[in-house]
């Protein structure tokens, strides 16, 4: 059944759980008032998403195995982003391999769009439109369609997003949804098959190390970690890990460990009962021994003291349905 939803968020942990077709973790790297909008549209087989986030960030994403996913920037004037250590500009399309894992690094406000299909549906669409199967690549690649085709894809994507915001009942009509889906699908296939594959020899080149790095962080979430211990478990030198992290994350592994712990502390503060837990307890459980230093760094990163986060009632994303991001 076709459906759509427009959601607004003021906390990245709420935003993470609403993104479709991938498991996403967001780590803000710049201070300020975090605002995000996410539009989700489920047509028949095609899922599409549009998003805008207000602050610079690093996002770690793992794409679902049962969806073929493409990703692109939706604002021609926004700054390029880094994907797996490679620069991605407006006008480029990231074509993910199935189950792809990667880091996105965005240095400012970002607007992005995505589309996904079951692999067998994408293959069948390719046969029908261009006479051959279109499948997710074995290795994630970057494609640059012609300006005309990319403009058409962006316009169709934006129009669908506008319908979801202003007249969602129309978009929920099965025949309207099918017409929108066919237009999007045909243009997407044209972009993927007629576009120029960019030279991305380094894309994913360091992924095995970064994947092991993330696995260790996930397995020991909430435990204090030290770079020397992490390097020993991964089986690489400190210099190698630093080089890989700088390329993918734009920072040292030590800084990334700190950033993750800050976000874990914020998530715990957001979810905690203020009558049952304290800031000190949550800070120390996430490896912050000096409460004063933690409080100063927390306020600088998130724009409020940790005590304010603990006292605040968590936002319900559903109340923001159909509210435009400004």
249 lies in some domain = yes
243 φ, ψ (degrees, to nearest 5): -60, -45
Choosing from 162, 197, 232, the residue where a domain stops is: 197
Domain end point (choices 172, 197, 222) = 197
- 191 and 49 in a single domain? The answer is yes
pLDDT at residue 227 in the model: 87
* pLDDT, position 257: 92
Could you give the percent of the chain with pLDDT greater than 90? 82
Distinct helix (H) and strand (E) counts, the chain:
12, 13
Residue 225, SS3 per DSSP: coil
How much is the pLDDT for 206? 62
Residue 250, exposed/middle/buried by CB under 10 A (0-12, 13-18, 19+)?
Answer: middle
Is 322 within the bounds of a domain? no
**Regions of the chain where pLDDT drops below 70:** 199-206, 222, 313-326
Q: Give a yes or no: residue 65 inside a domain.
A: yes
Q: State the DSSP string of 46-83.
A: -EEEEEEESS-EEEEEEE-TT-EEEEEE--TTSPPEEE
How many domains is the chain partitioned into structurally?
2
Burial environment of residue 129 by CB neighbours within 10 A (0 to 12, 13 to 18, 19 or more): middle
191, with CB counted inside 10 A (0-12, 13-18, 19+), is buried
pLDDT of 322 reads 37
Q: What is the pLDDT of residues 204-244, one digit of tens each?
A: 556 789 999 999 998 887 677 788 889 999 999 999 999 99
Nearest to 297 by CA among 307, 306, 285: 306
Does 236 lie in the same domain as 143? no
* Exposure string for 28-48, b = 16+ CB within 10 A, e = fewer: bbeeeebbbbbbbbbbebbbb
Domain assignment of residue 215, given as a range: 207-311
Please indicate, yes or no, whether residues 185 and 224 belong to a single structural domain of this protein: no
- The confidence score (pLDDT) of residue 203 equals 58
Average pLDDT over the chain reads: 91
Structure tokens at 121: 């549906």
Residue 202 is predicted with a pLDDT of 57
Comparing C-alpha atoms, which of 59, 98, 52 is closest to residue 73? Answer: 52
The reply to whether 101 and 154 lie within a common domain is yes
Q: What is the pLDDT of residue 33?
A: 87
d(CA 15, CA 317): 8
Mark which of 151, 175, 197 sits at the end of a domain: 197
Q: For position 207, what pLDDT does the model report?
A: 74
């Amino acid at each position: 059944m076709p459906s759509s939803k427009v959601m607004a968020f003021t906390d990245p942990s709420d935003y993470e759980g609403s993104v479709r077709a991938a498991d996403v973790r967001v780590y803000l790297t710049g201070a300020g008032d975090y605002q995000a909008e996410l539009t989700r549209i489920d047509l028949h087989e095609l899922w599409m998403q549009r998003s805008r986030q207000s602050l610079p960030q690093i996002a770690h994403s793992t794409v679902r195995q049962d969806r073929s996913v493409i990703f692109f920037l939706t604002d021609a004037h926004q700054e390029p982003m880094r994907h797996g250590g490679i620069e991605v500009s407006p006008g480029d399309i990231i074509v993910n391999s199935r189950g792809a894992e990667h880091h996105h690094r965005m240095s400012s406000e970002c607007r992005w769009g995505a589309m996904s299909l079951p692999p067998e549906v994408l293959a069948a669409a390719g046969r029908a439109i261009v006479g051959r199967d279109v499948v997710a690549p074995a290795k994630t690649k970057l494609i640059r369609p012609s300006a005309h085709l990319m403009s058409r894809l962006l316009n169709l994507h934006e129009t669908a997003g506008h319908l979801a915001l202003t007249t969602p009942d129309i978009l929920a009509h099965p025949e309207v949804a099918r017409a929108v889906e066919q237009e999007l699908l045909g243009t997407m296939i044209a972009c993927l098959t007629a576009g120029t594959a960019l030279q991305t020899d380094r894309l994913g080149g360091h992924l095995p190390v970064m994947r092991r790095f993330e696995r260790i962080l996930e397995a020991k979430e909430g435990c204090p970690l030290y770079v020397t211990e992490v390097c020993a478990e991964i089986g690489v030198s400190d210099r190698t890990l630093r080089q890989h992290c700088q390329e993918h994350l734009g920072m040292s592994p030590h800084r990334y460990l700190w950033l993750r712990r800050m976000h874990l502390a914020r998530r715990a503060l957001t979810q905690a009962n203020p009558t049952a837990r304290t800031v000190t307890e949550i800070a120390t459980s996430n490896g912050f021994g000096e409460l004063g230093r933690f409080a100063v760094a927390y306020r600088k990163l998130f724009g409020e003291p940790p005590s304010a986060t603990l006292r605040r009632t968590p936002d319900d994303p559903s109340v923001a349905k159909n509210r435009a991001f400004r």
